[in-house]
Amino acid sequence: MKNIISTELAPKAIGPYSQAVEANGMLFISGQIPINPATSKIVEGDIKEQTEQVMKNIAAILEAAGYTFQDVVKSTCLLSDMNNFAAMNEVYGKYYNTDAPARAAYGVVKLPLGVLVEIETIAVKAK
């Protein structure tokens, strides 16, 4: 059975998808982009500022579902420019300073709404 996760503390979905879905002790968080949920606008600024907002959005969804960053087992990072990888990684690393999850990072041609970064996340409840 699946459980749809939604919180006002993260951006509303901008298409036919859920913020996150929980099934069998696993949480699948849709790709988060740097939208400030309070304003529904893209965060202005560089890759560090945008990555910080993405991680705040992920934190809000994890919390709404009863998970933490310690429960994250896999992330996929999409970047509009791989030259931004080191700066994105610096911010990302603040959230995973021990026992980091598995991760893939890709450079893509374009991301929704012209943002610089999108990150999707999978977490698993520790038994």
**What are the respective helix, strand and coil percentages of the chain, to the nearest 5?**
30, 30, 35
Class of domain 2-124: alpha beta
Q: How many Å separate Cα 123 from the centre of its chain? A: 11
Q: Which value, to the nearest 10 degrees, does the dihedral of the CA atoms of residues 122, 30, 98, 34 take?
A: 180
DSSP designation for 26 = E
Summarize pLDDT for 6-57 with one digit per residue, the tens: 999 999 988 899 999 999 999 999 999 999 999 999 999 999 999 999 999 9
Tens of pLDDT, residues 53-99:
999 999 999 999 999 999 999 999 999 999 999 999 999 999 998 89
Say what the pLDDT of residue 88 is. 98
Domain ranges, ordered by start, for the chain: 2-124
Backbone angles phi, psi at 85, to 5 degrees: -55, -50
